[in-house]
Amino acid sequence: LHTLSIELFHRLLMSGLVRLPTRQLICVVERFARAKCSDPSCTEAFAKLFTSLMPPAVIFNRDCRSALLQFNDVPARTMITV
């Protein structure tokens, strides 16, 4: 997963079709961003990348997509990112 380009990973999250619970996906996104910004001195770059891969910048996963498109009732905690 970490070998994907940032653009491709961003497009994947933009689709909102990832079938992973929000909390787990947050961990995946964090690990991806850390892998892309592995230099300890690039904390600002990590923060910027991480933010760009989180809602509301992307739809994120099926739970968020369903809530946004009002396909069904989704608990409020689904939309909480941290």
* pLDDT for 82 beyond 50: no
The pLDDT assigned to 25 comes to 92
2-31 average pLDDT score: 91
Q: Averaged over 2-25, what is the pLDDT?
A: 90
Measured in whole angstroms, how far is the alpha carbon of residue 12 from the centre of its chain? 9
Q: Distances in Å between the alpha carbon of 52 and those of 9, 14, 48, 75? A: 11, 11, 6, 24
Q: Give 36-79 pLDDT, tens digit per residue.
A: 998 878 899 999 999 999 988 888 888 887 777 775 555 555 55
To the question of pTM greater than 0.85 for the whole model, the response is no
